[in-house]
């Protein structure tokens, strides 16, 4: 009895200490412990709770580590619609919004208005429900009416209280944004192969929330900021006061919000944070303005998608001028030569930029760019900035033309440029180190064979030491060979061998994509796997036969035949057979239904409930095909958030357009 009393006291002490340090790190941004010290506290708590399982409670910090595998997320209905905000890049439109609200309030007999200005976090919106202070549900926005119940993933986020700090009887709802701090995002990307890295923190967050392995979600260290509170006793409480209540309940509100009494206050806030935001430890892309008087929100109402009492001002793309110091030439896995600009380091959008891709030599000609030119670079939601123009009036006398290289910078082979193409190529496919490295990394990538232990640094060593010349050689590596490599001990060698062994179980369709045949992406690999059930059959198909397969035209057919005609390919396939690969399809899966039978479907914009690959697979399972361009033959276009020019083209052509909700219903 004494033991359990002492354990309960120690558990209570550890929980309090852990939640205190969670709050310091994720809410107050004032960490006091190293990750190692924090992990030790958590390990002590987990060990005690395993010893005394009756002492485990739902709000214990140990319940954040995840571990449950969710086969699918249950759909839930929001208490009130989760509307998205109208966006503007214009201060003039902000003024129009302000005056419009002022006019609507005047109709209600209100002469003055207060607005709350908040920073716009670049993350993923979610809804949290608490019952008597305990977290009972976390859900995605979805289509605004329906969302996914992702409580198992939300519980792993340290900035989301499992139990509210203050007494809160009954049910309350908190809405906010899940996001990833810059430091945590960089650590996540560093742990992944280069070709599998996320483009930006928002993409990483959105992808993480959809994972069905909550233990992996917990490892990715996401954060949360609250900006909405519903269910408190006094519904007349202003929005500004509700933000203060959220902080007392244990939430981060970002701390950088302000009550604006006049239009000038709003413009000053926007101007102030235009530069200051880059010093923050997380990404922000604008300012959200909300009417402070919550009692008038319902009276002002909403359009079909957005409330009339709020608007989001988004900062325009950031630009800077710098000098082009040099151009280097990178070699891709298919031998493509890509020019890369080496720039005089310059601060842009909060980070130092010293490099930018120039895409191809046609782009260099279009820009009219020369070495030593002053150039304008831009960064708009992209990790890698782009050169958008040359400052011709600043061109120095010593400017040097960019000359197309005649030989491969990696192996010295003369370059070739096929007719009707913009790129130059190294044709030394079998011996060029850069191409070998590229093929290995592509083979190991997430959508191919998903060999997590095979990253860029290790691939560089394997190629440099000539241990591996093609992907088949990977499966004959021995642990003693690997242990001799730099930064590779016994455990790392064992992990790689184990990962390689596991990759043998990947599908025939994935293997087709992993081989890296030119023009064969994931969608084409799926079509090929359905038309030719083995690599043996595919290798003997003629261009004419291949052209009858959906989504495969003469160019792709020629590329496939060209691949299998190479002398090295039969040897590679023989290595894979010897490595116990099954070079054929398993039994075909049963078609779910025929709801998309004969339809070609295109996706544009981002979806809330599906990633693009999953959505495509659902179409194919129902008899449809997924395409990447719009034409009169396109059967359907599914439009998500921020659709591009493809939507405009579809509307002009009269192609049927579905929302995500309509698409889901059709499934």
- Read off the tokens for 147: 């969302």
- Known catalytic residues are 120
Q: Are 116 and 259 in contact (CB under 8 A)?
A: yes
What is the C-alpha separation between 469 and 435, in angstroms, rounded?
10
Place of tokens 């924090």: 38
- Read off the tokens for 263: 């239009």
Place of tokens 């191809």: 360
**Strand ranges (DSSP E) for 180-263?**
223-230, 257-260
CB contact set of 85 (below 8 Å; sequence gap of 6+)? 288, 306, 307, 310, 311, 312
What is the C-alpha separation between 273 and 287, in angstroms, rounded?
8
What is the C-alpha separation between 569 and 564, in angstroms, rounded?
6
Residue 437 main-chain phi, psi, to 5 deg: -60, -45
Measured in residues, the chain has a length of 667
Name residue 534's beta-bridge partners.
584
What is the C-alpha separation between 613 and 129, in angstroms, rounded?
30
- Read off the tokens for 268: 């000053």
CA 486 to chain CA mean position, Å: 31
Neighbouring CB atoms inside 10 A of 583's CB total 15
List the one residue out of 135, 150, 157 whose CA is nearest residue 249: 135
Neighbouring CB atoms inside 10 A of 282's CB total 22
Name residue 638's beta-bridge partners.
603, 658
What is the C-alpha separation between 16 and 8, in angstroms, rounded?
12
For 10-31, b/e burial (b = at least 16 CB within 10 A) is ebeebbebbbebbbebbbeeee
Q: Are 41 and 35 in contact (CB under 8 A)?
A: no
What is the C-alpha separation between 269 and 240, in angstroms, rounded?
16
CA torsion angle for 267, 270, 276, 279 (degrees, to 10)?
A: 170
* Helix/strand/coil percent split, the chain, to 5: 40, 20, 40
Residue 566 main-chain phi, psi, to 5 deg: -70, 135
Query: What string of DSSP letters covers 401-469?
Result: PPPPPSB-TTT-PBEE--TT-S--EE--TTT-HHHHHHHHHHHHSTTTT--TT--HHHHHHHHHTTS-S
What is the C-alpha separation between 42 and 62, in angstroms, rounded?
7
- Read off the tokens for 592: 């779910």
CA dist 213 to 61, 161, 210, 506, Å?
Answer: 18, 21, 9, 19
Tell me the Cα Rg of the chain.
Answer: 28
* Sign of the CA dihedral running 67, 73, 78, 81: positive
The 3 state secondary structure assigned to 349-375 is: CCEEEEEEECCCHHHHHHHCCCECCEE
CB contact set of 405 (below 8 Å; sequence gap of 6+)? 329, 337, 415, 424
Place of tokens 């604006």: 260
């Amino acid at each position: 009895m004494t033991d359990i009393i002492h354990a309960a006291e120690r558990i209570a002490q550890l929980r309090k200490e852990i939640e205190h340090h969670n709050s310091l790190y994720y809410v107050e941004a004032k960490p006091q412990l190293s990750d190692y010290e924090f992990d030790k506290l958590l390990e002590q708590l987990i060990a005690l709770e395993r010893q005394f399982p009756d002492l485990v409670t739902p709000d214990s910090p140990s319940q954040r580590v995840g571990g449950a595998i969710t086969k699918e997320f249950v759909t839930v209905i929001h208490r009130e619609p989760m509307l998205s905000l109208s966006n503007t890049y214009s201060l003039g439109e902000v003024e129009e919004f302000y005056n419009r609200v002022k006019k609507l309030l005047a109709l209600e007999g209100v002469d003055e208005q207060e607005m709350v200005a908040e920073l716009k976090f670049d993350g993923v919106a979610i809804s949290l429900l608490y019952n008597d202070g305990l977290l009972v549900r976390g859900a995605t926005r979805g289509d605004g009416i329906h969302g996914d119940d992702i409580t198992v993933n939300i519980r792993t986020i340290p900035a989301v209280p499992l139990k509210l700090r203050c007494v809160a009887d009954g049910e309350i709802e908190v809405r906010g944004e899940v996001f990833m701090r810059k430091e945590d995002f960089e650590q996540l990307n560093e742990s992944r192969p280069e070709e599998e890295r996320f483009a930006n923190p928002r993409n990483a967050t959105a992808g993480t929330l959809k994972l069905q392995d909550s233990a992996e979600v917990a490892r990715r260290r996401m954060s949360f900021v609250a900006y909405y509170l519903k269910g408190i006793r006094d519904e007349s409480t202003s929005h500004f006061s509700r933000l203060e209540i959220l902080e007392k309940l244990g939430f981060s509100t970002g701390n950088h919000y302000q009550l604006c009494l006049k239009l000038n206050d709003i413009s000053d806030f926007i101007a102030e944070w235009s530069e200051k935001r880059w010093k923050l430890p997380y990404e922000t892309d604008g300012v959200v303005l909300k009417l402070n008087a919550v009692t008038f929100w319902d009276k002002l109402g909403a359009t079909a998608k957005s409330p009339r009492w709020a608007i989001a001002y988004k900062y325009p793309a950031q630009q800077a001028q710098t000098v082009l110091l040099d151009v280097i030439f990178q070699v891709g896995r298919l031998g493509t030569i890509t020019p890369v600009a080496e720039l005089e380091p310059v601060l842009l959008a909060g980070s130092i930029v010293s490099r930018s891709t120039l895409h191809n030599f046609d782009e260099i000609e279009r820009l009219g760019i020369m070495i030593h030119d002053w150039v304008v670079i831009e960064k708009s939601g992209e990790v890698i900035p782009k050169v958008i123009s040359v400052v011709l009036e600043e061109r120095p006398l010593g400017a040097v033309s960019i000359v197309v290289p005649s030989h491969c910078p990696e192996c010295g082979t003369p370059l070739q440029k096929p007719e009707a193409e913009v790129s130059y190529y190294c044709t030394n496919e079998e011996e060029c180190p850069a191409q070998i490295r590229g093929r290995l990394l592509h083979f190991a990538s997430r959508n191919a064979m998903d060999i997590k232990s095979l990253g860029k640094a290790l691939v560089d060593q394997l190629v440099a030491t000539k241990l591996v010349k093609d992907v088949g050689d990977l499966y004959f590596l021995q642990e003693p060979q690997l242990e001799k490599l730099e930064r590779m001990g016994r455990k790392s060698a064992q992990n790689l061998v184990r990962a390689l062994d596991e990759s043998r179980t990947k599908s025939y369709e994935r293997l087709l994509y992993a081989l890296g045949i030119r023009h064969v992406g994931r969608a084409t690999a799926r079509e090929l796997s359905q038309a030719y059930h083995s690599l043996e059959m595919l290798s003997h198909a003629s261009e004419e036969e291949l052209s009858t397969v959906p989504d495969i035209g003469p160019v792709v057919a020629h590329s496939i035949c060209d691949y299998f005609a190479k002398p090295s390919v039969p040897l590679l396939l023989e290595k894979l057979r010897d490595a116990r690969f099954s070079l054929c399809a398993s039994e075909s899966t049963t078609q779910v239904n025929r709801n998309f039978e004969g339809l070609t479907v295109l996706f544009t914009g981002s979806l809330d409930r599906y990633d693009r690959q999953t959505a495509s697979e659902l179409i194919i399972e129902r008899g449809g095909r997924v395409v990447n361009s719009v034409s009169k033959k396109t059967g359907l276009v599914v439009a998500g958030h921020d659709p591009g020019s493809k939507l405009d083209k579809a509307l002009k052509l009269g192609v049927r357009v579905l929302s995500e909700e309509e698409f889901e219903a059709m499934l």
